Each structure stands twice: as structure tokens, then as C-alpha cells.
Structure 1
Amino acid sequence: MIEVKNLVKVYSTKKNKVIGVDNVSLTIKNGEIFGIVGYSGAGKSTLLRCLNLLERPTSGQVIIDGVDLTTLNKKELRQARLKIGMIFQHFHLVSSKTVFENVAFALKAAKKSKDEIEKRVNELLEMVGLSDKRDAYPSQLSGGQKQRVGIARALANEPTVLLCDEATSALDPSTTKSILALLKKINRELGITIVLITHEMEVVKDICDRIAVMQDGKVIELGTVYDIFTNPKEELTKSFINSVLQFDLPDHLLKKRTGTIVKIQFKGEIAEEAIVSDMLQTFKVKGNILHGKIEYIQDMPLGIFVMELTGDPDEIQRAIDYISLRTNGLEVIASAA
């Protein structure tokens, strides 16, 4: 388990002080994939680098598996870091070394024997799907392949924690999905705790169990991915969600409508029930679906529909009350003229 307690990181310059991380406290459970989300300058990468003390906190504690890293001497910290792997946005591979040699580097630093290194590197290259690239150089690899080498290298010393700093930001969408699938496989099969920094909510939706949203060095919202997506509290979080689940209709389309426009959110199992169909059969209203989509987040459905209701105003209100009661997620966008 990772515990961050009252963590502060301040950068001092000649003219002023800049707060990178501002009194952050959070707990990351063993075996979960935890996302830290925020725009550039929010403090998320600084927080991540504080977790293995690549950035030493100004104050506060970083406790991993019961050990406060901030209290360790240099030798003890080097040993602790062997169990904390890290992968980067730009791979950081040694261009003059082969794939095998890049992965073996961490094992050599840990003073493993030649036979141990040979066996472990071969296992890792098979795990990340690069056995056939063992003798290739980074210049001969695609971006996705380079990141797979980075992942293999980070796993070399069998870490319990894997830190990912914008690990997919330099990749195209298709390659991103394959890397996320690999990280999820590693998490599920090896039980490794993954902490993932990103500004892309699509990445969060695909892989994370819980997320923290950061702004100005602070964590402003924290929760499970499903709860954050279905009920965001902060405006920044809502803007992130809208980048993935965009359901707003253009103004010119709304102006053409004469009925009542409603946006309905269906959470969990309710998303798979025939609530709209039941409503149309129960009340004397007509329904025209203008936009709709069902997303699956952590294998749980989230449905959002925008529809126009026409008919007697009293019947429309009864229909709205019926759906509101069944879904607890209805918003009237425009009332009937």
C-alpha cells in the first residue's frame, strides 16, 4: 500500500517560491491501478516523482509497504527503489544498446548473475511480446515497441509498484490501447500496483480503478472511476469528463425543437433496462431520441440520452417525474414552447 501524508514540494528560485505539490494526502491500495489526472502544471508529475523520491518532498511522508521513504539513507533508498519500477513518456532507452541490453541494465545494477539476467530478460521480452526484437536497437523499433521495452525494463527487478509518467502520450490511439491492455494484463496477472499520470480521460476510463484529479498542486477530487464519471463534483473534473462523454447538442438544433428536451443518465444495470420504452407506453407522450450512447466503465454500463418529449404538458411532466424516479439522473435542457 502507498500512503502519501501531507506531502509538500516547493521549488525555490531567486525571485519567488513555486508550490509543485500542496499538502496532498491519499492512499493507493495494493494491486489497484490508480490514475492521477490534471492539465500541465497541475503537479501530477511532481507528485509521481515524489513517490520514489526522484523529487525529494519539502515536507510530508511517502510510505510504501510500511516504510517511510523520506527517512531512508542513500543506500536504503537505492534498495527500496528496486521495488518501484518507472516508465516514461519518451522511453529513455540507451540508443547504443540492444533491446536485451536495455532490459538487462537494471538487473546488472542489481548485481544479478549472468544466468539470472539471461533468464529474466527472456521472460520479460516474452511477456511484452518482443522476443523477436531481442537483438534490435531502439532506432529499429516503433514507438509502441520502445514503450514495451521500457515496461520490460521497469519490471526487471520484480517491483511491487509501477509508476507511469504519461506513458502513452507520445503514442497513436491504436498503440495506446495495446499498451494499456499490456499494463492491465501485468496488473491483473502479477498483482503490481500501478500509478498512472495522464491528462487523457480516455486512458483513465480504459484502465484505472480510482483516480485523483489535481489542480494547482492540490487533489480536488478523488474516487472510483465510475463514480467520478457518473457524478463529477468539480468544474475541472466535469470538463475532463465532457472531453470523453460529449452529449451537448448544437444550439441551432435545439432551436428547431418545439418539445421539452431532456438529458437522461442511466447508471449501472439500469442502463440495460427498457425505462424509456416503458415511459412511452405508460404516458401519452412521444419521444424522439436526438443523441445517445452507452459507455462501459470498469465493465459497468453508463448510458446518456438526449431526447425530445412532445405531447400534453401535464403528461410530459409525469413522464419526466417517472424517469427521474427510476434513474435519479434527468436534466431538462429546454422546456416546451
Structure 2
Amino acid sequence: MIEIKSVTKEYKTKKGTVKGVDNVSLEIDQGEIFGIVGYSGAGKSSLLRCINLMEKPTSGEIFVDGVNLVKLNASKLRKSRQKIGMIFQHFYLATSKTVFDNVYFALKAAGKSKTESQKKVLDLLELVGLADKAQHYPSQLSGGQKQRVGIARALANDPKVLLCDEATSALDPSTTQAILKLLKDINEKLGLTIVLITHEMEVVKEICDRMAVMEEGKVIELGSVYQLFAQPKENLTKEFIDGVMQFKLPQALVGKCKGTIVKIHFRGRIAEESVVSDVLKGFNVRANILHGKIEYIKEVPLGVFIMELKGTSDEVERVLTYLNDKAVGVEVMTSDN
């Protein structure tokens, strides 16, 4: 659905030329929810705005549904953009217009008839759960409700692609979950391709199929969300993952441990099996579980446990070999970690 070919976006500053996007190539499939992750200044927003040519790439090509947007004249580009909806972090609603009129404006701008547009607005407000708020003004809405208006507006012209620019960053955790559920429902019901930029790994874990990690304008790691959570390769990706799968032991607890401390990573259905129990039964060691967690990513479990193993060095080594055979990996931690 979306193909980004060798895209570079440069900005002129007083200090010289800065590359916001540096030779990025990506393919995003039809119906996929794709996350672009990075810290502020990584280039993710610049890349997102290049997709609908809000920012024209300095070089490279952008294909959406087989059409090279970079090659279009202004008139054809405006028409193609109608099939690319966009929602923003700060909503950008017209404060003097009602909820109905904020959504209606997008249809009016596209030249749709009044009768057709009015029915469409009501259908969209029903879809996003705001049918009873049609005559309210933005000042009367919560942050989550404002974002729902933004989503309805973005869907007004039946887009094939929905771009989300930090769509949940201004929302509280419970409202974020509700908006993510709405986006997933829209993705399933309408078959939309969704591209979502964020610095929140909880958001990516909850909704995305695949993700790209950006740093200094480049994509440094790319893969399925599960793959990157289970086996991140780049330090930045590991840093992001640690924010969700954080396992810091109190130093006082570590100081009391006399055995070997290991961190065990379980992937897939093995995370639901009795591996730890089998260690206790099958080996001449004592195991003390210090920390543990199982996350579900797209309904597939990913587990991390930290254990203290007490026994002879040979028997501990046997346990490590067994765990390596069963688990994604075993990391032996020193006592001062």
C-alpha cells in the first residue's frame, strides 16, 4: 500500500543543512498497522509528513496505492491526499464550530453534496462513539472525545491510509487505551492501513503489527513488534523495550543473593509451560524467583524471569544448558547487577 524509496528530507538552518530523514526505504502492507518509533528529533514526524507530501522529500519517491505522489501536479496531489487521512496529537479542531461542523468541513472541502455529507457525518460520529455530541463545541469535550472528532474528520473522505502523529501522547492512560481500541476496530472494519508514530512502546505493543525504530533520520531496526520485543539488536531498541519489560532488582536484594543470578527470556508458547517448575524438579539446585513478567504481544506471550540458582557449579551449568535449549536466551547476571 505504501512504498517509501530512498527518501531524504533536508532542512536549511543557520548552522547549515540538517537531514530530518536520511535515505529511508520502507514498505507498508495493505491493512497493516505500522509503528514508527523514536525520540524527539529522530525524524519520525518528518517521515510521516513526507508520506502525504505535507513535507516534500528533498529526494526519493513515495508510492501510495501504486501512485507516485512526488510526480503529481498540485491538482492531482490534492485528489490523492483525500485518500490519506491524518490525525494529530493536538486535535486541531475549529473551536467556533460544533462537532458536526468540524467533520462536515472536510466533506465540504472535498466538494461533496450537502445531503450526502450530512448523512456521512452522522454515520462517522456513530462509528467513533460521539453520536450524542454532534452539536457540542470542542470546549465541551474531553481530550479523548476531541481525538474521536479528529478521527471522524480523518475518515470523512473514505481514506485508504490513516496517518497518526502522536495521536495518544496528550491523553491519559485509560483514554489512550480507548483510542487504541477504536483505531484497531477501524482497521478491522474498514481495512485501513494505519501508520502511527510514537515514542511510547506501550502503544506499539498494543496495536502495531510491525515497527521501525528511527535515530538521526535513519531507520536503524525494522521487524515485527514481537520480533523486536523478543530479540532487539540495536541499543536504542533495547532502551525502548526496557521501558516496558523493565526488571531492576533492588540493590539490597541483590546483595543478599549468594547464588548465580540469571535472566531468562521465554518466547512464544514456551512462556506458558512449566519450565521453571521442571528446573526445580529435575536438577539438584535451589531456585529462587526474584522477578518475573509475561507480556502478550498480538496475543503471543513473551516472558522474562530473574532467578537465583544455588547449587554446585556443574549442576548450575547443567541448568543453564537446559534453559538455553528451552528458552530464547539466558543471561547470567553478576551479583553486583
Question: Could you tell me which amino acid in structure 2 is paired with residue 188 of structure 1?
Answer: E
Q: Which residue of 2 aligns with 1:161?
A: 161
User: Residue 244 of structure 1: SS of its match in structure 2?
Assistant: coil
Note the C-alpha offset of 1:14.
4.2
1:15 positional shift? 3.8
Identity, % of aligned positions: 67
Q: Which residue of 1 aligns with 2:311?
A: 311
2:260 corresponds to 1:264:
no
2:8 and 2:313 map into 1 onto residues whose CA distance is: 56
1:178 alignment partner in structure 2: 178
Equivalent position SS for 1:189? helix
Post-superposition Cα deviations, 1:174-211, rounded to whole Å, max 9, x if no partner, equal 10000000001000111000000100001000000000
More off after superposition, 11-20 vs 113-122: 11-20
Deviating 4+ runs (over 6 angstroms): none
Give the corresponding residue for 1:327: 327
Q: Is the counterpart of residue 28 in structure 1 residue 24 in structure 2?
A: no
Matched with 1:190 is 190
Which residues in structure 2 correspond to 1:1-337 (within 5 Å)?
A: 1-334=1-334
Separation of aligned partners in 2, 1:319 and 1:34:
39
Partner Cα distance (2:254, 2:314) in 1: 22
Q: Deviations over 1:13-33 (max 9, x none)?
A: 344111100000010000000
Question: What SS does structure 1 have at the residue aligned with 2:168?
Answer: coil
Distance in 2, matches of 1:88 and 1:43, equals 16
- Using the alignment, how far apart are the partners of 2:41 and 2:154 within structure 1? 26
Distance 1:52 1:102 in 2: 21
Q: Deviations over 1:186-245 (max 9, x none)?
A: 001110000001000010000000000000000000000000000000000000000111
CA distance in 1, matches of 2:232, 2:251: 24
The one-letter code matched in structure 2 to 1:239 is: E
The alpha carbon displacement at 1:292 in A equals 0.4
TM-score normalised by L of structure 1: 0.98
How far is 1:280 from its partner? Answer: 1.2
CA offsets 1:92-146 (integer angstroms, 9 cap, x no match): 0000000000001110011111111111111100000000000000000000000
State how far apart, in whole Å, the 2-side matches of 1:335 and 1:312 are.
Answer: 17
Q: Distance in 2 between matches of 1:105 and 1:93?
A: 11
C-alpha separation in 2, matches of 1:280 and 1:14: 64
2-structure distance, mates of 1:69, 1:239: 35
CA shift in 2, pair 1:75/1:250, >3 Å: same
The alignment's TM-score, normalised by the length of structure 2, stands at 0.98
Question: C-alpha distance in 2, partners of 1:319/1:60?
Answer: 52
Q: State how far apart, in whole Å, the 1-side matches of 2:15 and 2:184 are.
A: 44
Look up the equivalent residue of 2:236 and give its one-letter code. Answer: L
Q: Distance in 1 between matches of 2:15 and 2:290?
A: 55
CA shift for structure 1 position 64: 0.6
SS of the residue aligned with 2:243? helix
Instruction: State how far apart, in whole Å, the 1-side matches of 2:206 and 2:14 are.
Output: 43
**Distance in 2 (alpha carbons) for counterparts of 1:137 and 1:57:** 37
What is the Cα-based RMSD across aligned positions, in Å? 1.1
Q: Secondary structure at the match of 2:288?
A: strand
Letter in 1 for 2:75: K
Whole-angstrom distance in 1 between the partners of 2:328 and 2:32: 29
Deviations along 1:49-98, one digit per CA (max 9) or x if unpaired, are 00000000000000011110000000000000000000000000000000
Superposition deviation, residue 335 in structure 1: 6.6
Q: 2:121 and 2:286 mapped to 1: Cα distance?
A: 64
Letter in 2 for 1:331: E
Structure 2 segments unaligned to the other structure (5+ residues): none
- Match of 2:157, SS state, is coil
The secondary structure found in structure 1 opposite 2:95 is: coil
Q: CA deviation at 1:289?
A: 0.4
For 2:256 and 2:33, the matched residues in 1 are separated by 45
Q: Single out whichever of 171-180 and 304-313 deviates more from structure 2.
A: 304-313
The answer to whether the Cα contact below 8 Å between 2:31 and 2:194 also exists between their aligned partners in 1 is yes
